[in-house]
């Protein structure tokens, strides 16, 4: 279509479409099929040190922070180690408690974001161990860390991060797999996840084939002044990242909410002028999620639902975007890809500067 063709000129569009190849690069040489685990030489940790970790704390800014939340879920689900993510820009200002048995993880595409770098320095000054999930080799954050996982996304130019972000998720899956396999994650579960990781590049390619439908949905969303992005548990950081991308490049107000919290406030705003983009994977929460969508539809709120093929939406009046299913732990990244294209095509429809949105820099290197 014209929309898809016109999109070809921007870096963001190119970077979105590079993801099948860039995720493959993130995986290459890092999967140990026989033991169902990841091989991450750059962590500089032996199995005993890996086992001694009692907590994981993830730090990043912007999209890196939201992927960090996805990463925390992966660590908790696969390794059963308490994990959470925090905005690196806030961390050092609250005199954080640095624990010797916590693994700190700094996430950054550029490796130069000053807030993340200063968080790393604060941790190391207090004797903490920090690893980096960084794209740019030899960058300041990569050099400051005790070890790390390079993202191998290749150069990313567009301010709105896409392929680097996807590889951050892959990096977290590899880390969680390794942390899990020195604990209670079984070899069978390890192999199940490895098979899932190997399916990601092809499944991302399948999602990218739905670009025309996504462009049409985006053009309608771009007409609204304000939007909600909703999701629950694994789907919530996906919604946060989706809202972030949308507001960064389309300049529309986009707010992420937990689907479960809708009835505790934001439902008051729903009407025909306020569309909702809902993340509804096929999981243990599907029925509850679909129930919330009917609440929105009853108030004539327009709906775009990013979901799986087998999810039954009933008679719901909604634009439906289905992504392929993977292992439930890995689904969040596949649900994120259509949201990149929604943001992208909204900005394209509005005629905005996609690669260089106003007021933003690719990496913020001054405080």
Compute the distance between CA of residue 258 and CA of residue 252 in angstroms, rounded to an integer. Answer: 19
Torsion angle of the four alpha carbons 132, 136, 139, 144, in this order, in degrees rounded to the nearest 10: 10
Q: Which is nearer to ligand G6P, 108 or 203 (CB)?
A: 108
Contact code string over 321-360 relative to ligand G6P, x by CB under 6 A:
---------------------------------------x
- Those residues with Cβ within 8 angstroms of residue 265's Cβ, 6 or more apart along the chain or in another chain: none
Q: Which is nearer to ligand G6P, 10 or 63 (CB)?
A: 63
Q: Which is nearer to ligand G6P, 50 or 108 (CB)?
A: 108
3-state secondary structure the chain: CHHHHHHCCCHHHHHHHCHHHHHHHHHCCCEECCCCEECCHHHCCCHHHHHCCCEEEEEECCHHHHHHHHHHHHHHHHHCCCEEEEEHHHHHHHCCCCCCCEEEEEEECCCCCHHHHHHHHHHHHCCCEEEEEECCCCCHHHHHCCEEEECCCCCCCCCCCCHHHHHHHHHHHHHHHHHHHCCCCCHHHHHHHHHHHHHHHHHHHHHHCCHHHHHHHHHHHCCCCEEEEEECCCHHHHHHHHHHHHHHHHCCEEEEEEHHHHHHCHHHHCCCCCCEEEEECCCCCHHHHHHHHHHHHHCCCCEEEEEECCCCCCCCCCEEEEECCCCCCCHHHHHHHHHHHHHHHHHHHCCCCCCCCCCCCCCCCCC
Stretch that binds ligand G6P, among 45-53, 153-161, 190-198, 210-218 (CB under 6 A): 153-161
* Binds ligand G6P (CB under 6 A): choice among 10, 19, 50, 63: 63
Q: Which is nearer to ligand G6P, 61 or 131 (CB)?
A: 61
* Binds ligand G6P (CB under 6 A): choice among 10, 22, 37, 113: 113
Check residue 62 for interaction with ligand G6P (CB under 6 A). Answer: yes
* Binds ligand G6P (CB under 6 A): choice among 22, 73, 102, 161: 161
Residue 63 beta carbon to ligand G6P: minimum distance, rounded to whole angstroms: 4
Stretch that binds ligand G6P, among 58-66, 210-218, 226-234, 323-331 (CB under 6 A): 58-66
* Binds ligand G6P (CB under 6 A): choice among 19, 110, 203, 326: 110
Stretch that binds ligand G6P, among 14-22, 109-117, 184-192, 216-224 (CB under 6 A): 109-117
Compute the distance between CA of residue 239 and CA of residue 54 in angstroms, rounded to an integer. Answer: 29
What are the φ and ψ backbone dihedral angles of 265, each rounded to 5 degrees? 165, -70
Check residue 363 for interaction with ligand G6P (CB under 6 A). Answer: yes
Residue 352 beta carbon to ligand G6P: minimum distance, rounded to whole angstroms: 15
Residue 237 beta carbon to ligand G6P: minimum distance, rounded to whole angstroms: 13
Residue 87 beta carbon to ligand G6P: minimum distance, rounded to whole angstroms: 10
| Count of residues engaged in binding ligand G6P, rule: CB under 6 A | 15
Check residue 159 for interaction with ligand G6P (CB under 6 A). Answer: yes
Check residue 109 for interaction with ligand G6P (CB under 6 A). Answer: yes
Check residue 69 for interaction with ligand G6P (CB under 6 A). Answer: no
Structure tokens at 143: 């050099």
Q: Which is nearer to ligand G6P, 316 or 364 (CB)?
A: 364
> Among all residues, whose Cβ is closest to ligand G6P?
62
Check residue 121 for interaction with ligand G6P (CB under 6 A). Answer: no
Q: Which is nearer to ligand G6P, 160 or 285 (CB)?
A: 160
Residue 159 beta carbon to ligand G6P: minimum distance, rounded to whole angstroms: 5
Compute the distance between CA of residue 180 and CA of residue 74 in angstroms, rounded to an integer. Answer: 10
Max intra-chain CA distance, the chain: 58
Check residue 64 for interaction with ligand G6P (CB under 6 A). Answer: yes
Binding site for ligand G6P (CB under 6 A): 61-64, 108-110, 113, 116, 159-161, 360, 363-364
């Amino acid at each position: 279509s014209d929309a898809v063709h016109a999109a070809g000129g921007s870096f963001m569009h190119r970077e979105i479409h590079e993801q099948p190849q860039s995720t493959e690069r993130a995986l290459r040489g890092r999967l140990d099929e026989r033991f169902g685990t990841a091989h991450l030489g750059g962590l500089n940790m032996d199995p005993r040190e890996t086992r001694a970790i009692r907590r994981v704390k993830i730090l990043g800014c912007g999209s890196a922070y939201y992927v960090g939340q996805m990463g925390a879920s992966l660590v908790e689900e696969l390794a059963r180690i308490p994990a959470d993510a925090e905005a690196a820009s806030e961390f050092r200002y609250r005199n954080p408690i640095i624990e010797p048995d916590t693994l700190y993880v700094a996430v950054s595409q550029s490796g130069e974001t000053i807030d993340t770098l200063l968080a790393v320095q604060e941790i190391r000054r207090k004797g903490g161990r920090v690893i980096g999930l960084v794209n740019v080799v030899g960058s300041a954050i990569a050099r400051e860390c005790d070890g790390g996982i390079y993202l191998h996304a290749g150069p990313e130019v567009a301010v709105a991060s896409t392929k680097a972000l996807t590889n951050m998720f892959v990096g977290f899956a590899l880390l969680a797999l390794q942390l899990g396999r020195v604990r209670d994650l079984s070899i069978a579960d390890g192999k199940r996840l490895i098979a899932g990781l190997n399916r990601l590049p092809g499944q991302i390619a399948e999602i990218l084939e739905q670009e025309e439908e996504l462009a049409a949905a985006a053009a309608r969303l771009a007409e609204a002044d304000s939007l909600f992005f909703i999701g629950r548990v694994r789907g919530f950081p996906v919604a946060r990242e989706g809202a972030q991308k949308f507001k960064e490049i389309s300049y529309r107000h986009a707010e992420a909410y937990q689907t479960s919290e809708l009835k505790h406030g934001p439902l008051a705003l729903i009407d025909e002028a306020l569309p909702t983009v809902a993340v509804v994977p096929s999981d243990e929460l599907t029925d509850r999620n679909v129930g919330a969508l009917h609440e929105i539809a009853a108030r004539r709120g327009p709906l775009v639902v990013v979901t799986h093929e087998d999810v039954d939406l009933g008679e719901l009046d909604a634009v439906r975007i289905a992504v392929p299913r993977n292992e439930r732990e890995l689904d969040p990244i596949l649900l994120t890809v259509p949201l990149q294209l929604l943001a992208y095509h909204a900005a394209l429809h509005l005629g905005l500067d996609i690669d260089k949105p106003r007021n933003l820099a690719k990496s913020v290197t001054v405080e």
